[in-house]
Amino acid sequence: MITKNIEDELNKQLNAELYSAYLYLSMSAFLSKKNLNGFSHWMQLQFEEEQAHAKKLFQYILDRGGNIQLEQISKPKTEWLGIIDIFEHVLRHEQAVTSMINDLVDAAMNEKDHATVALMQWYVSEQVEEEASVSDILDQLKLIEGKGSGLFMLDREAKQRILNPIN
């Protein structure tokens, strides 16, 4: 059984993951309208990955005897200045998610909730991967100034991304 504080923190993270999915779906739609279908595909996979992250938390809360507290999902942004602006937004968003996860780990450690600490270590590692991936793409986009044949090539590369199963 988890404490009320940890249950609340896990539910907060669950809802943040659902918002992340919603945000990436919005980004996918924007990119599709800009005919950047590879990057749109990349964001659709991000959407699916964030849903999987939420489901993992959902099941964990239930497995520990907690209550699920689904909140209203805020409307995400729908317009960006361009591809660089989107990936800068993604990086800031993932950094904010990392901060939330670190706070949740701290709370679990303070309460000596070893099971939650163990679960959250997976999320900590996942965030390192998320931030590195987005940083790499952003750096490449900045090198080509987000346009031209380089953008075409990066868009085609983004289309090759596949979704890795969540463990």
Instruction: Say if CB 141 and CB 83 are below 8 A apart.
Output: yes
User: pLDDT, tens digit, for every residue of 44-91?
Assistant: 999 999 999 999 999 999 999 999 999 999 999 999 999 999 999 999
Summarize the confidence of residues 105-117 as an average pLDDT. Answer: 98
In this predicted structure, the answer to whether residue 132 has a pLDDT above a threshold of 90 is: yes
Q: Where are the domains of the chain?
A: 4-159
Q: Any alpha helices (H) in the chain, and if so which ranges?
A: 4-33, 37-63, 83-110, 114-143, 148-159
Under DSSP, the state recorded for 164 is P
Using CA atoms, how far residue 47 sits from 52, 75, 92, in Å, is 9, 15, 16
Q: What is the pLDDT of residue 167?
A: 64
Mean pLDDT, the chain, integer: 96
Q: What is the pLDDT of residue 69?
A: 98
99 closest CA partner among 24, 13, 18 = 13
Answer CATH for 4-159 from 2.40.50.100, 3.40.50.1360, 1.20.1260.10, 1.20.59.10 = 1.20.1260.10
Summarize the confidence of residues 123-145 as an average pLDDT. Answer: 96
In this predicted structure, the answer to whether residue 166 has a pLDDT above a threshold of 90 is: no
Separation between Cα atoms, residue 162 and residue 28, nearest integer Å: 15
User: pLDDT, tens digit, for every residue of 7-32?
Assistant: 999 999 999 999 999 999 999 999 99
Q: What is the pLDDT of residue 163?
A: 80
